[in-house]
Chains A and B, each alone.
Chain A
């Protein structure tokens, strides 16, 4: 046993230990900051904790300063160049106009909430009259135009629905193709042919098939327009997941496969205990790509088919041709971009939760 008297520990050393512990924590948190796209936070924390300020300043500059500077430069370039492009709808709007329209769209959403209240009041009045006339009161969904937020929400719901179907189909097929070279040989030509098909080509077919097979008498589970967009998303976002799953499954460490043989694992156990865990990183890579593709496809599908959502917002504004249309379209463009980024981060976060290696 060492005979160090606890009291003899210098206060310095004590502080050192605490600092070390702090750094460990910051390093642990760093992983999460990266997931959230906030990797610049950790050098700031480290610097605050007093770790080699110069090195940390470098990091902060690279992770925070440069991106901010780039955004500022982009905004300036945009603000100076945009007014010089004259269109028949006026000059291309600069950042200030776009911001103004973003605020406008928000106020419009508030107005819509007011119209909803007015609608409810009118329905209440109608029901009074119905009761007076000895009829049952009715309750019906709001019939007014959806607000911008409602359109965003519709798009997000649609993309997730389509993406979910794609995942349910693609992951099992991918595992099958990864495990069996024969299944792979069978699926491969089909994948290669359908993968490059644009959503715009699928859309008319999907529309016709949905309206022929999915009969709604006003109260089906989903609106036809919702299904049209969602299935188009499915058809286009199937492939990255399928391909990456197949690749992930087929590239499992041969030793692991041999172990499973020695242990005489059943196919099911083999898939759940061995195949899935070791191919998860690649499956998630595929899912991330799929969701990204799905989001892009959705906007195009909504524009073309006039289905509710952000794509329709863009197309409607283009058709309106008012003096605010271009700025509103740009608000939509930024919204689409930001949501796409958030979706990607979300998938990345889920991936980090489920996988244990750095192989992503």
Chain B
């Protein structure tokens, strides 16, 4: 309680800074945003708690949602005006995989922030296959090739090896698949008739809502999972599982959640949309400024029951720059959660295209598409134009630094070099088909999934 009072005092000191900024003519000033209990919803909580929404004249209510499907349906049917979304959700909804609706994203919420955890039992079986460092701790990053013999044991016994991810088009699904495939395990394909995603799979992936991951792992229904924080650290604290790899180690600074709204909302309420993005950019700046100096305060906000609600220590682990693997094996990962640095909030087309390539790789997009198609979808969903307008207003108000924004970007990040990705396969968003060809496991060119096999 004392801690909160102290932070509240700090927060009030920040409020007055915006008082000279110009108020936009808002089309709608009472908004409800949805979120899932994950630490990367932080920009929303901070924008609320630090009064950034109110500075823009926005009266925002934040509501936790039960799962990603409920959240997406809420945005589509208008119960929610916007939400903290999986990057794949606006893309999949727009191309009509799952519920169809045109959703856009003017703001990318963060980089990294996920991990893959296996149960204690599986960890013990994996350990003999993991090389050790001089001090006896396992050498990182751990490849899924260490999991392969364990899965083969399961197959020999005729038992399915199950893992959890949070949604069919979630980052976690693609990251878990990437990790498994990079280690030589088949994570299974989707086909138009069979959307279980388990066609030809060595490891069977299924959906579990993030907050229920630890409980499901404990119950033995799944042997491991890929999820955002704090649910990997929660497994360590509860002593029920061991994180084997973070997505930062899988692919350095990979794009994570986005803020999604419907296209109609953005068209009907252009000023409101800009005001929301302004508030969110300010929150992101605050989260990363002075070398993460505000993170402890952010963790306190997140640990309140109405936001993430997990224990302070659990959330603090990843948010303040280190990550606990086995109990006691804490390692520094300063960029585990990035909210603003490296242009984290700019919605890059190349990020959208990576998600689209993964949808194609695993058969969620059933047919081959041209490079131009990938770019068209990306530009219709990711909206850096709105983002930059909002950023410009902030710079004019003196609330953001001109140098922090990529004003002249064409929307593509520089290609990710081979050394930043676990299997050493570089990614260039301008050439999605060539990238798909370079991945050893996954659909290529004109291949399709028919019945239980890959054809073409």
Instruction: Give A contacts to B, CB under 8 Å.
Output: 88-89, 107-108, 111, 114-115, 118-119, 122-123, 125-126, 129-130, 133, 135, 138, 140-141, 143, 145, 211, 218, 224, 306, 316-317, 319-323, 325, 328
Contact indicator A319/B212 (Cβ below 8 Å): yes
Most A Cβ at <10 Å: residue of B1, B16, B212, B309: B309
Contact present for B23 and A320 (CB under 8 Å): no
Task: List residues of chain A with CB within 8 A of the CB of B308.
Answer: 320
Q: Is the CB of A118 within 8 A of B12?
A: yes
- In whole angstroms, what is the CA distance A130 to B12 when docked? 20
Assuming the contacts A140-B30, A317-B305, A320-B308, asked whether A211 and B77 have C-beta atoms less than 8 A apart, the reply is yes
A-B contact count (CB 8 A): 87
Known: A111-B1, A122-B51, A130-B23. A140 touches B29 (CB 8 A): yes
- CB < 8 Å neighbour of A322 from B1, B62, B311: B311
Give the residues in chain A near B214, CB-CB below 8 Å.
88, 321
User: Could you list 13 examples of A-B contacts with CB < 8 Å?
Assistant: A108-B305, A122-B51, A125-B19, A145-B304, A145-B305, A211-B77, A218-B30, A316-B64, A317-B305, A320-B37, A321-B215, A322-B311, A325-B309
Encode contact with A along B234-258: 1 for CB under 8 Å, 0 otherwise.
Answer: 1000111000000000000000000
Stretch at the interface among B52-60, B267-275, B428-436: B52-60
Return the CB mask of B53-81 against A: 1 if under 8 Å, else 0.
Answer: 01101011110111000100000010100
Cβ B309 vs Cβ A319 within 8 A: yes
- Of the candidates B23, B303, B304, which one forms a contact with A133 in the assembled complex, judged by CB atoms under 8 Å apart? B23
Closest to A217 in B: B78
Q: Report the Cα distance A315→B44, complex, angstroms.
A: 22
Known: A118-B12, A320-B309. A140 touches B59 (CB 8 A): yes
B310 CB within 8 Å of chain A: yes
Query: Nearest chain A CB to B283's CB is how many angstroms away?
Result: 15
If A138-B57, A211-B77 touch, whether A129 touches B310 (CB-CB below 8 Å) is no
Which residues on the A side are within 8 Å of B57 (C-beta)? Answer: 126, 130, 138
CA distance in complex: A89, B240 (Å): 11
> CB distance A320 to B19 under 8 Å?
no
A143 neighbours in B (Cβ, 8 Å) = 48, 59-61
Asked whether A125 and B29 contact (CB < 8 A) given A133-B23, A319-B309, A321-B214, the answer is no
Please judge, given known A-B contacts A118-B12, A122-B15, whether A319 and B37 are in contact too, CB under 8 Å: yes
Give bound CA distance, A211 to B74, whole Å.
11
- CB contacts (< 8 Å) of B218 on chain A: these are 88
* Cross-interface CB contact of B305 among A89, A126, A133, A320, cutoff 8 Å: A320
B178-235 residues with Cβ-Cβ distance < 8 A to A are 211-212, 214-215, 218, 234
Distance, CA A306 to CA B211, complexed state (A): 14
Partner of A316, one of B15, B70, B303, B309: B309
Please measure, in the bound complex, the distance between the C-alpha atom of A130 and the C-alpha atom of B306, giving whole angstroms: 30
Residue among A140, A141, A143 with the highest chain B CB neighbour number at 10 A: A143
- Which range contains the number of B residues in contact with the other chain? 35 or more
Check B30 against A89 for contact (C-beta < 8 Å): no
Q: How far is the CB of B66 from chain A (nearest CB, A)?
A: 5
Residues of B within 8 A of A129 (CB): 19, 23
Contacts of B8 in A (CB 8 A): 114-115, 118
B29, A322: Cβ atoms under 8 Å? no
Cα of A109 to Cα of B10 in the assembled complex, Å = 21
Closest 9 CB pairs of A and B: A320-B309, A145-B306, A88-B238, A319-B211, A140-B59, A143-B61, A322-B311, A122-B54, A122-B51
Q: Is B4 an interface residue (CB 8 A)?
A: yes
Are A126 and B310 in contact, CB atoms less than 8 angstroms apart? Answer: no
Chain B 1-39: CB-based contact to A (< 8 A → 1; otherwise 0): 100100010001001100100110000011000000100
Could you tell me the distance between the alpha carbons of A23 and B344 in the complex, rounded to whole angstroms? Answer: 81
Asked, given contacts A122-B51, A316-B309, whether A321 binds B19 with beta carbons under 8 Å apart, the answer is: no
Q: In whole angstroms, what is the CA distance A108 to B12 when docked?
A: 19
Q: With A and B bound together, what is the CA distance between A118 and B5 in angstroms?
A: 12
Q: Is the CB of B79 within 8 A of A317?
A: no
Cα distance, A143 to B27, chains bound together (Å): 18
**Contact across chains for B234 and A321 when beta carbons are under 8 A apart:** yes
A135 near B23 with CB under 8 A, answer yes
Quote the shortest CB–CB distance from A308 to chain B (angstroms).
9
A138 near B15 with CB under 8 A, answer: no
Residues from chain B with a CB closer than 8 A to the CB of A316 are 64, 305-306, 309
Cα distance A294–B118 when bound, in Å?
43
Measured CA separation A68–B72 after assembly (Å): 52
Expressed in whole angstroms, the Cα–Cα distance for A174 and B66 within the complex equals: 39
**Considering only CB atoms, which chain B residue lies closest to A145 in the complex?**
B306
B-side contacts of A218, CB under 8 Å? 30
